[in-house]
Amino acid sequence: MTQHYEAHANRIVDAFKELLGEEVAAQITDEHYDELSMLIESALSNSVIEELEKAADNVAALAANIRKHAENYD
């Protein structure tokens, strides 16, 4: 999955370069673009992890609720 985030981050950086134009983009080093790509990749990963944690919490709460109702089922 990391490769997916990395590829997506690289596409975002490439789009950003196009917005800057050739003259401005040439003034920024490849190292800076790589750092930007890593920051974007990290942000994507963190967002996905946060959403997965929320989903896991929801599933756990639902399981607890089902268990509670099962214990009281007549």
Which residue is associated with the tokens 């800076």?
32
pLDDT-flagged residues of the chain (< 50)? none
pTM greater than 0.75: no
pLDDT at 74: 67
- Percentages helix, strand, coil for the chain (3-state, rounded to 5) are 90, 0, 10
pLDDT tens digit sequence for 13-22: 999 999 998 8
